Amino acid sequence: MLCVLVLAAGEPWEAPALADLEAHPGLVVLKRCVDVDDLVASVTSGQADVAVVALDAPGLDPSAVSHLRRHAVRPVAVTGARSDDLDVREHAHRLGVAAVVGGGELASLPEVVASVEEVLDTRPRQPDLEPLPAAPAGPGGRQAGPGGRVVAVWGPAGAPGRTTVATNLAGELARRRVPVVLADLDPYGGAVAQQLGILDEVSGLLSAARLAGAGHLADRFPSTCRGVGEHLAVVTGLPRADRWREVRPAHVEQLLEAARGLGEVVLDTGFSLEEDAADLGGRPARNSLTLGALEQADEVVVVGGAAPVGLTRLARGLVDLRDRVDGTPVRVVVNRMRSSIGWSEKDIAGMVEGFSRVAGLHFLPDDPALVDRSLVAGRPVVDLGESSLARSLAALADAVFPASAEASHGRAHARPTVRRSLRGGRR
């Protein structure tokens, strides 16, 4: 006996479909759901086997379908159009639904529901798009995905300089004429737009989430980015911290897949690694943005402050991170390094090695005047002329993105004039 959930979203086929499903001897209609949130909440009970859903139900997106599958609930879509219509098939494929019943085939719905396992196992595979060439393996031997590498910049609580490192790492790549996407995935209030002087009327992250939900992100990802100069594309973060609920883990996966196709990818993440529980409506947990970024990164750059409190938090953070990114190369950046703290670089290196094996250790000198000038100008430090901090950031970029270092060799280090935003919104 199969238990069925039905989400018709007010479609005229609901009444006859319910009558046919209830008349079938092997099926039981468990519940009529009022909307997608009701549907995803209902599957968590573990009692349902199949969900019959309107293909055009508001809010039905790939992440909702993934939620059904995670709870072993198989989706069957119903549409008023013909099931073999090309637009219908593409829409269902984007959602991840294989079994589709058209308007003229409603009488076959009970049999499709009863045999949906067979349909899922034997459905013809969609032709795969030709992937972009894979990037070279990063330090530690891990192979990056198709296209550019994804590097997540993380650090513990206490404002150690995650956003400063992320924006300047991306800025250095752009200065080298390497295409790079900088995405702000901080669920507690990102500041990438502010650091780069971008007028953030529309959140790139929320725009990407909406397009991902509709299945259009792959085609329209560039529209979610702000151009800064010729080589840097920025996905701005949440306009308010309370809007993290609008971005699901599946949206982040699609965003990173699309970003790889444009070039190298740098992610500014949040500080918390706690696995907070998702709510009963199937909405994401707050820290899923950060955890998802770390899970999919080809390398993680960990930023810690050089002060005693900052180093303590860095040590604890490395221990917590070890369980989250097993096998992913981890590189440590000690920010605001200065002689007044009383420890040498050798002392700090010994401390770091005692807590975690890292792919590299880098020190950024403390230069508050230069950082303040960078923030006021809305430009990366590396665009403000030669300095010890700029050289240290360039060395970090050499280590994290070695291919960019090779590309920059032989060129003069004079920094070209930075062009302003490609499309409205900067300065």
Taking only the tens place, the pLDDT of each residue in 223-251 is 999 999 899 999 999 988 888 988 888 88
The token pair at 80 is 């008023």
User: Within 13 A of 203's CA, how many CA atoms are on the CB side?
Assistant: 22
DSSP β-bridge partners for residue 134: 146, 147
User: Within 13 A of 46's CA, how many CA atoms are on the CB side?
Assistant: 0
Q: Is the pLDDT of residue 9 over 70?
A: yes
Q: Are 52 and 66 in contact (CB under 8 A)?
A: no
Q: Are 366 and 336 in contact (CB under 8 A)?
A: yes
Least Cα distance to 155 among 292, 268, 309 occurs for 268
pLDDT band per the 50, 70, 90 thresholds, residue 125: very low
Q: DSSP assignment of 85-99, as one string?
A: -HHHHHHHHHHT--E
Amino acid at 144: A
Question: Which range has the top average pLDDT, 67-81, 238-252, 265-279, 327-341?
Answer: 327-341
pLDDT at 90: 86
pLDDT band per the 50, 70, 90 thresholds, residue 94: confident
Question: Which range has the top average pLDDT, 49-53, 55-59, 115-119, 199-203?
Answer: 49-53
Tell me the domains of the chain and their CATH numbers. Answer: 2-122 (3.40.50.2300), 150-408 (3.40.50.300)
- Residue 326: how many other CB atoms lie within 10 Å: 7
Which of the pair, 268 or 357, is modelled with greater confidence? 268
Amino acid at 249: P
Q: DSSP assignment of 381-414, as one string?
A: GGGS---HHHHHHHHHHHHH-HHHHHHHTTS--P
Q: Judging by DSSP bridges, how do beta strands 226-228 and 264-269 pair with one another?
A: unpaired
Angle at the Cα of 149 from the Cα atoms of 144 and 153, rounded to 5 degrees:
120
**What's CA 104's distance to the chain center, in Å?**
40
Q: How far apart are CA 355 and CA 324, in angstroms?
A: 15
pLDDT at 66: 82
Q: Are 267 and 185 in contact (CB under 8 A)?
A: yes
pLDDT at 127: 31
Task: Report CA-CA distances (Å) from 57 to 21, 34, 82, 86, 116.
Answer: 20, 10, 17, 19, 20
pLDDT at 269: 97
Q: Are 178 and 231 in contact (CB under 8 A)?
A: yes
Return the DSSP state at 366: -
Q: Is the pLDDT of residue 311 over 80?
A: yes
Q: Are 179 and 132 in contact (CB under 8 A)?
A: no
Average predicted confidence (pLDDT) for the chain: 85
- Residue 415: how many other CB atoms lie within 10 Å: 14
pLDDT at 279: 52
Q: How confident is the model over 268-282, as a mean pLDDT?
A: 76
- What is the value of pTM for the model shown? 0.69
Q: DSSP assignment of 25-91, as one string?
A: TTEEEEEE-SSHHHHHHHHTTS--SEEEEETT-TT--HHHHHHHHHTT-EEEEE-SS-TT-HHHHHH
